[in-house]
Chain A
Amino acid sequence: MIDAGFGRLTDPPASLLLGGVRVLDPSAGTDEVRDVGIVDGRLADPATVPAGAPRIDGHGLIAAPGFCDLHTHLREPGDAAAETVASGAQAAARGGYTTVCAMPNTDPPIDSPDRVRSLLDAGRDAACRVRVIGSVTVGREGMAVADLEAMAAAGASGFSDDGASVPSADTAVQALRALAGLDRPLVEHAEDADLAGGGVMRAGRTASELGLAGWPAEAEVAVVERDLALAAETGARVHLTHLSCAASLEAIRRAKADGVRVTCDVTPHHLAMAETWIAGDRAFSWDEPRRDATLAFDPMCRVNPPLTTREDAAALLAGIVDGTIDAIATDHAPHPAERKLVPFDQAAPGLIGLETALSLGLAAVEAGALPLAALVAALSSRPAAIIGEARGLVVGDVADLVVFDPSARWRVDRPTLASASTNTPLLGMTLPGVVRLTIADGRVTYRA
């Protein structure tokens, strides 16, 4: 077993003993301090761990099911300067993830069974399992629906034209009819391009003050409402990703109550960073704003959907607590420096998130804004269920877990990041939560 650094899914299965660790297993509803044994990659009775196997002192650490990211941009094929499957998977392992879902808006897009298989193959010896989301439409052009059935047979876990919504209701209906029999979700980036109208930050007081073009909340809500109606109509599953508006959440809450097959996620940055960050605020949304005007217009804060209001961020946190929001997904969006070293309105939208998601969640936990158990469930078992996978810490299962120190702190610096890109406004900040060990599919993929 490695002492420190990254492993691969092709490494030999691990055997080790984790002594006295706090085990949080949301699927079993357990939270207890005990020993955890792993023998040949499977969870085992600690007494059966071979005498020579490594022992890790787990005091003060938390063991949880491996995290599953429903929304990751690995940038392969076509943009190796930003990220590769290998570098993105290491960033995932370092963040406690054992599974990531690669988004299909690559160059070329993942819109055929061959491309699905090729990306799955590229992930087989990575530091994290790579699942593939296929394009909904051919060429991700929003026109003709791609061969979803063939891509599903090739292993696609869901379908999305992420970066944009499926533009017309007509196309969305065709896609949902095809998906109804496949039990794969339509993963929708909800944004009406006309209503968004070229806005670069949430419309409102801060946008007015900064003189930046506003992106109204209705741009998201309109598509959410449309897709909920279409999901009800077709019986297919819709997963609404990176929600940013309280009104979207309200609509989903009602639809869930009506039995519509809908799930949703929110990003760590929409929870933690309000739109005031664009004006130089660097306090989390649950704290009092703390503005440093010299940080205003930081292109690292440009993201789509744009950072939300403090009120909406509070509503999104409440949505995790009450279960309306199923998952926290990173929308990990690496960009090389030159795409961010430009004025705010010209910057490529997006920020990296795999290595900071747990830390932002733990910051919310420390502030009393989020219960730890809800955070762990939203990072692990609940997103895994959306792609049809189970996560638990039951003896006999293949070991798939993360061990982290919730109170240790680390500074987000460029050299510390495993991602090939470092685009995040968190650079220079000190955050709680350090991952000590990640085991994916029975193999140690990260240890620190």
Chain B
Amino acid sequence: MTLGAPTRAWTHRHLLDVDTLSREDIERVLDLAEEMREARETRAHRSLLDLETVALAFYEPSTRTRVSFELAAKALGATVVDLAVERSSAGKGESLVDTLRTLRRVGATIVVLRHASSGAPYLAARETDLSIVNGGDGVHAHPTQALLDALTLREALGTLEGRLLAIVGDVAHSRVARSNIHALTKLGARVRVGGPSAWVSGFEDWPGVQVATSLPAALEGADAVMTLRVQSERGAVAGVGSLADYVRDWRLDEERMALASPGAPILHPGPTNEGVELTAALANGQRSRIGRQVEHGVTVRMAVLALVAGVA
């Protein structure tokens, strides 16, 4: 079976982050994801991964990432096992490497790993012979989220070349932001990160990245806006005052969005905090691509699983 029209071979056995992908690699994922949308309806690739066993090892809670990986793997015919960490040996203090080696022994071939420690998937890739897909590691990377965001933006804007994307919120503690910066700059976009200074510090030296410390400065002329989840569960509100201060200074609404390019789309990695990162009217309005992101979540992950398995 031939999928897509690769200009050069996919060489990555793991997807640990976007930074080691070339622009062609990223475009290949996005193109394949678009094919998968149609194939998913016709069930054209329902046995593509029938030799693979995909284990979902989520050491942090997740709904949309875990469910979309599960649906993606099943749509391609893989056997899927969900390592329920709280009910497994991992919950009894077994080390990550030991747990993954056990999964390999019982037949898993691909592991989707989410872990609170930045870099955990790199350890997994080095110390096991599993194919590792990073489902989010600490505050480091969330490559499939960045790829689905890139697909959503490409669909909305036609191209990312020369476009200006604003990422607003707690950038410093966001793995979504980091992976998006890598993906979008590789696709030719410029990225501006905006947030209270404690939330954007450390990004001044990133190539291709501008830093804004007020919402108007962040939004001015942006072709698209991504607002990040305010993660109070990670203590992220600390250092920027109260949640009310954040809402007053940084919440997106229709009036503030007038500073951005006309009709600039809005993205959010979800789940949203109702009325905190953006108004309900914006979240549910014309500009919002939030639902589209969720839909792309499955097809992008289908593409990623097929590519790391070497069948696309």
User: Which of A's residues lie within 8 Å of B, judged by CB?
Assistant: 204-205, 207-212, 214, 293-299, 338, 341-346
Which residues of chain B have C-beta atoms less than 8 A from A344's C-beta? Answer: 117-119, 123
Which residues of chain B have C-beta atoms less than 8 A from A209's C-beta? Answer: 178, 206
For B131-174 the 0/1 string (1 means CB < 8 A from A) is: 00000011111000000000000000000000000000000100
Tell me if B246 counts as interface (CB < 8 A to partner A): no
Nearest B residue to A342, CB-CB: B95
**Most chain B beta-carbon neighbours within 10 Å: one of A205, A298, A344:** A344
Q: Report yes or no: B122 in contact with A211, Cβ–Cβ below 8 A.
A: no
Which residues of chain B have C-beta atoms less than 8 A from A210's C-beta? Answer: 118-119, 140
Which residues of chain B have C-beta atoms less than 8 A from A298's C-beta? Answer: 122
Given the contacts A293-B19, A294-B122, A341-B127, A346 and B117 also touching, CB distance less than 8 Å: yes
Given the contacts A296-B119, A297-B119, A342 and B139 also touching, CB distance less than 8 Å: no
Q: Which of A211, A295, A342 contacts B118 (CB 8 A)?
A: A211
Give Cα A313 to B194, complex, Å. Answer: 33
Q: Which of B16, B115, B141, B172 contacts A343 (CB 8 A)?
A: B115
6 contacts between A and B (CB under 8 A): A205-B205, A211-B140, A212-B119, A297-B123, A299-B123, A342-B95
Given the contacts A208-B202, A343-B115, A294 and B126 also touching, CB distance less than 8 Å: yes
Given the contacts A209-B206, A338-B95, A341-B97, A293 and B20 also touching, CB distance less than 8 Å: yes
Which residues of chain A have C-beta atoms less than 8 A from B217's C-beta? Answer: none
Give Cα A211 to B171, complex, Å. Answer: 11
Q: Report yes or no: A211 in contact with B175, Cβ–Cβ below 8 A.
A: yes
Give Cα A295 to B202, complex, Å. Answer: 23
Tell me if B48 counts as interface (CB < 8 A to partner A): no
B97 CB to nearest A CB, Å: 5
Which residues of chain A have C-beta atoms less than 8 A from B117's C-beta? Answer: 343-346
Given contacts A295-B126, A297-B120, A343-B96, 16 further A-B contacts (CB under 8 A): A208-B202, A210-B118, A210-B119, A211-B138, A212-B138, A212-B140, A293-B16, A296-B122, A297-B122, A298-B122, A341-B95, A342-B97, A343-B120, A344-B117, A344-B119, A345-B138
Top 4 A-B pairs, shortest CB-CB distance: A297-B119, A208-B202, A211-B140, A343-B117
A380 CB to nearest B CB, Å: 37
Tell me if B212 counts as interface (CB < 8 A to partner A): no
Nearest A residue to B201, CB-CB: A208
Given the contacts A211-B141, A343-B115, A294 and B97 also touching, CB distance less than 8 Å: no
Which residues of chain B have C-beta atoms less than 8 A from A208's C-beta? Answer: 172, 202-203, 205-206
A435 CB to nearest B CB, Å: 31
Nearest A residue to B182, CB-CB: A209
Give Cα A209 to B118, complex, Å. Answer: 11
Tell me if B30 counts as interface (CB < 8 A to partner A): no
Give Cα A303 to B17, complex, Å. Answer: 25
Which residues of chain B have C-beta atoms less than 8 A from A341's C-beta? Answer: 95, 97, 123, 127
Nearest A residue to B98, CB-CB: A341
Q: Report yes or no: A343 in contact with B126, Cβ–Cβ below 8 A.
A: no
Q: Report yes or no: B202 in contact with A342, Cβ–Cβ below 8 A.
A: no
Q: Report yes or no: B178 in contact with A211, Cβ–Cβ below 8 A.
A: yes
Q: Report yes or no: B96 in contact with A212, Cβ–Cβ below 8 A.
A: no
Give Cα A345 to B140, complex, Å. Answer: 12
Q: Report yes or no: B20 in contact with A342, Cβ–Cβ below 8 A.
A: no
Give Cα A157 to B20, complex, Å. Answer: 50
Tell me if B290 counts as interface (CB < 8 A to partner A): no
